[in-house]
Structure 1
Amino acid sequence: MRKLLILTLMIAPASPILAGNWTAPEGCEVFMTVQAKACRVSNHYRCAADPAGDQWRADFDQEGVFFYSRIDSEGQWVESYTLNPTVRQVLDPVRADSASFSELLASGIDTWDFGMTRDDGSASGAKGYDRLTGKTVTIDGITLQETEVDFIETDVMGNTLRRARGNEYIHPDWRLFFAGPGETDLGDGQWRPIDGSPVEFIFPGEEGFLETQPKYDCDVLSAGAMPAQTPILPASLKE
């Protein structure tokens, strides 16, 4: 039922989305809203029907919701949905090296190597690592640990689809990754700067909770800068 509700929300006719009126699917509860750079706001939520530790994220730009993603208790991406057109992407059950939030915290580095399949028939693989830099940052009163990330995504023929490198942030207790500053190559060999860092963390009862309109960098994007709808991986896969 939860997946049906999510798909219903995604394929509903496009209409203007008013600020602060988003509702999570039935049986789910939003626990945090994050306003980020690059004109994105995300609502993080948990669903009672999911395995313990699973978390969802719904991403919104100025036009509305464009991305849903689920991670497990290890911060490992499990499934996601992109819109226009609607495509579901899932983690392959057999993996060369599963992502592990626990390993990252325990040893300071976590490598990963896995495949993903989409319901449009395409498939790809992602390989890379997260490494703690030993630095911390405080954003909107929340202390986060900085990571270094480097990854490559290839198709089934081994062709590079995209690469990314840079920094991200984690919150050990929330077991969440947040995008940060870096650069990405969309398969054409050109590295482009990207920064989807969080700016505000908003909790139930606070102004801006359940917000659906992003606040930061939107004027820059409208002037022609590259959007960061899908943040630097593995944030887009693990969050």
Structure 2
Amino acid sequence: MRFALFILALVAAGPATAGSFRPPAGCETFMTVQSRGCRVSNHYQCSADQKGDQWRADFDQEGMFFLSRIDREAQWVESFDLNPTVRQTLDPNPADAASFTDLLAGRDDFDFRLSKETGEKSHVTGHDALTGKSMTMDGVTLLQTAFDFTEVDAEGNELRRARGNEFVHPEWRLFFAGPSEWHDGNDWLPVNGSPVQFVFPGEPGFESTQPIFECGALMSRAPLHPPVQEASYAR
């Protein structure tokens, strides 16, 4: 209930909340990330959750559009697509659970299923692998990964397919978007939501809800939001 009320409050507030993100009661924001593709994400943790769980709230120029929770292994525990709000959760007993620990050893393969509260179900398979390269962004060193995943519905019809690169921070146990390609059923479409700026408590721009990079008037929601789950679903 607390997250339902939290989502309703933020969606109702829309862009007017710029610079004033506040997580639900009992939760604390620990980092704000400004990314390419006109997106800003606020990362927070809640005392009532399992140890290692982390939340991420994504905003564009029109307000919050996505909310997700991962566990210590960066499994996609639950997420909320907004406008309208639809909750999606990880099904129990995955065939091959996503493992951040395995990824840090070199490679992680995953095979799991997801369910939406609308009754829709899907099956996700793929992998993440370290490339051996690292990059420093805004003073933060991240390890580069290569990923590939496919999501199909209950009948086996392809819903999403993507490949490319992402970045991970071993201590934070977090994935960040990178240059990738999304298949639209006919062609591969490039997208790059790489992080540009990391903002921590006490710094200007912390808990901002207004994205600042690549937010030109010609940018549209359509090509940006389908790939916002840009990562492998192992996040």
TM-score of Structure 1 vs Structure 2, range by shorter chain: over 0.9
Instruction: Provide the rounded CA distance (Å) in 1 between the counterparts of 2:15 and 2:230.
Output: 28
Aligned-partner SS, 1:3: helix
Gaps of 5+ in 2: none
Aligned to 1:191: 188
Aligned with 1:216 (options 191, 213, 216): 213
Per-residue CA deviation, residues 173-219 of structure 1 (Å, 9 max, x unaligned), is: 00000010010013x22110011100000000001000101011111
Give the aligned partner of residue 97 of structure 2: 98
Question: Do the aligned partners of 1:38 and 1:221 also contact (CA within 8 Å) in 2?
Answer: no
- The residue identity in structure 2 corresponding to 1:51 is Q
Deviation at 1:110, TM superposition (A): 0.2
Residues 28 and 238 of structure 1: CA distance in aligned 2, closer, same or farther (over 3 Å) = farther
Q: How far apart in 2 are the matches of 1:104 and 1:200?
A: 24
Q: Which residue of 1 aligns with 2:200?
A: 203
How many residues matched? 234
Q: Which residue of 1 aligns with 2:74?
A: 75
SS of equivalent to 1:222: coil
**Secondary structure, aligned partner of 2:103:** helix
Please report the TM-score for the alignment, with normalisation by the length of structure 1.
Answer: 0.92
CA drift at 1:83:
0.7
The 5 A counterparts of 1:2-151 are: 2-9=2-9, 13=12, 15-106=14-105, 108-151=106-149
* 1:168 alignment partner, SS class: strand
What's the CA shift string for 1:21-74, capped at 9, x where partnerless?
A: 111011000000000001100000000000000000000000000110000011
Matched, 1:168 2:155: no
* Native 8 Å contact 1:179 1:198 kept in 2: yes
Contact 1:125 1:156 (8 Å CA) reproduced? yes
Deviation at 1:14, TM superposition (A): 5.2
RMSD: 1.8
C-alpha separation in 2, matches of 1:164 and 1:49: 34
Q: Aligned pair in 2 of structure 1 residues 125, 6: CA closer, same or farther (>3 Å)?
A: farther
* Closer/same/farther in 2, CA of residues 133 and 15 from structure 1, 3 Å limit: closer
Q: Deviations over 1:3-27 (max 9, x none)?
A: 34334436x5354324211110110
AA at the equivalent of 1:218: C
CA distance in 2, matches of 1:9, 1:168: 31
How far apart are the structure 2 equivalents of 1:3 and 1:18?
17
Which 4+ residue blocks in structure 1 deviate beyond 4 angstroms?
A: none
Distance 1:224 1:44, change over 3 A: closer
Secondary structure of residue in 1 paired with 2:216: helix
CA offsets, 1:130-188, max 9 Å, x none?
Answer: 000000000000000000000001001111111000000000000000010010013x2
| 1:140 aligned partner, one-letter code | D
Match of 2:97, as an amino acid?
S
SS in 2 for 1:167: strand
Q: What SS does structure 2 have at the residue aligned with 1:226?
A: helix
How far apart, in 1, do the equivalents of 2:222 and 2:100 lie? 33
Q: For residue 50 of structure 2, what is the amino acid of its counterpart? A: P
Q: Distance in 1 between matches of 2:91 and 2:221?
A: 36
Structure 1, unpaired ranges of 5+: none
